[in-house]
Chain A
Amino acid sequence: MEKKSSSLVYKGWCIFSKDLKSELRNRYALNALLMFAVTTLVAVSFAVGQFGLGENLLAALFWIVIFFSALSGLAQTFIKEEETKTASTLKLVASASSIYLGKLTFNIALLLALEVVIVPLFFLLSNVGGANLLLFFAVLILASLGLAAATTLIAAMVSKAAVKGALFAALSFPILLPLLVTAIQGTELSFKGEAFMSGFSELKVLLSYLVVMLVASLMLFDFVWSE
């Protein structure tokens, strides 16, 4: 049993490093993702920057930028497998769960790479002063993990459909809304500089969302992948 689970994690890791290598070679997803995010952020900041927005609007704008940038890039990892017709080979070498874990890790890495660029830029452009950074990063990381967990399964579904781009956003939005609402509220609290414990209920909701989505994805991924 232990050996089986270790090989599951090991194979997941192999798929992650394979994706990472091919991504670093051509930067297919990352460049598009970054440019999308930077363009959106600059456009938003240019349009509303001089008005000195309140914390609630800033938190909403921040998550809108993250959400749409994520949606522009996170489906690529599965679409690429379908386009280059490598999906069947992947099916032969690894089980569905390990593929899900590998792709999930890759999407998390992609999202964190995006945030490394976006977060400092956002703080630079929006003049948020006196934010509670500990709460901010706790919300950011938990919400990013939840975002990746929920969208990876949808990305796999979208890669099997005929129209991909618009469908990904349409399918993801209703499922991600509880996450987005909670993340926006937690981020707003952190921008206001509230104490860490005041955002504790938001963190609990984000954590439970992450666990629920992870379990549901692991249960359902096999059905999508075997199609």
Chain B
Amino acid sequence: MPDFWKFFLLLLMSAVIIAAWSMEPPQNQLGEVSRLFYFHIPVAWVTALAYFVAMSHSVLYLRRRELLYDVKASSAAELGTLFCVLATITGSIFAKMTWGAFWNWDPRQTSILILLLIYGAYLALRSAVREPGRKAALSSVYCIFAFPAAVFLIFVTPRAYQSLHPASSVIDTSGRIQMPAPILVTFLASLICFTLIFIWVYTLQTAIGRNRLSERKL
């Protein structure tokens, strides 16, 4: 990542942090805890993004059989795990403050837990296979195969069962965004920041993986 982007990220992230703590809480009836909104949703978004990146590179690996795609897929999955843990923790704190318990099997909590389990199983599978080509092929297949299950859990289950998760407060049922302008701007800036952090760490990780690959060839 060019240096310009790193400085941009530094400034934007500082601005987001200052704005998130100095402005009014985004939802007054929920109080101070609703400031988590600026961090929880971007982290959850990166989790889904990382999974999608891992899945699409798995498809590319199976098509072209180049280990670099596997490096890209597994780096995305490792980073996704980290962001998934963060999303789960911030979500649990929110749940404790608003619903009274850290964990109460809300459909949203269930779906994030399953995403975490999928990532965990993917990494367990990788450590259980030694030969690199076979490791890459099997974990790619698993990543693709888990995708329909994740779609079921993220899109079908929360709509089929009642959820306490605030969704209508961000985007209402007609699909329009219902937020005052300063809150929306801070939220979008935070979304950009977390995506940039993901891209930054992801490029570093794939660079490390690429070096390891060329070492092995030597």
Q: Hey, which bits of chain A sit against chain B, CB under 8 A?
A: 153-154, 157, 160-163, 167, 170-171, 173-178, 181, 201, 205, 209, 212-213, 216-217, 220, 223-224, 227
Contacts and interface: CB of A to CB of B under 8 A. Distances in A.
A223 B142 CA distance: 11
Interface centre among B117, B137, B148 (most CB of A within 10 A): B148
A170 B114 CA distance: 11
A121 B145 CA distance: 34
Interface of B: 62, 114, 117-118, 120-121, 124-125, 128-130, 133-134, 137-138, 140-142, 144-146, 148-149, 152-153, 156-157, 160
Contact of B121 (A153, A171, A216, A224): A171
Contacts of A175: 118, 145-146, 149
A18 to B, nearest CB: 25
Contacts of B120: 170
A224 B138 contact: yes
Nearest to A209: B152
Contacts of B62: 223
Contacts of B137: 223-224, 227
26 contacts: A153-B145, A161-B129, A167-B125, A167-B128, A171-B121, A171-B125, A173-B121, A174-B117, A174-B121, A174-B146, A175-B149, A177-B114, A177-B149, A178-B152, A181-B157, A205-B152, A205-B156, A209-B152, A216-B144, A217-B145, A220-B144, A223-B137, A223-B140, A224-B141, A227-B134, A227-B138
B140 A216 contact: no
Contact of B138 (A157, A163, A174): A157
Contact of A178 (B128, B138, B141, B149): B149
A171 B124 CA distance: 8
A182 B207 CA distance: 43
A11 B114 CA distance: 37
Contacts of B134: 160, 227
A201 B145 contact: no
B121 to A, nearest CB: 5
A171 B130 CA distance: 17
A154 B138 CA distance: 10
Given A157-B138, A160-B129, A170-B124, A201 B156 contact: no
A218 B144 CA distance: 13
A157 B126 CA distance: 11
Contacts of A167: 124-125, 128
A224 B141 CA distance: 7
B157 A162 contact: no
Given A170-B121, A205-B160, 13 more contacts: A153-B141, A157-B125, A161-B128, A162-B128, A162-B129, A163-B128, A170-B120, A175-B145, A176-B149, A205-B152, A205-B156, A209-B152, A216-B144
Contacts of A227: 133-134, 137-138
A36 B146 CA distance: 27
A212 B142 CA distance: 15
A171 B142 contact: yes
Contacts of A223: 62, 137, 140-141
Contacts of A153: 141, 145
A177 B153 contact: yes
A177 B144 CA distance: 16
Contacts of B153: 177-178
Contacts of B140: 223
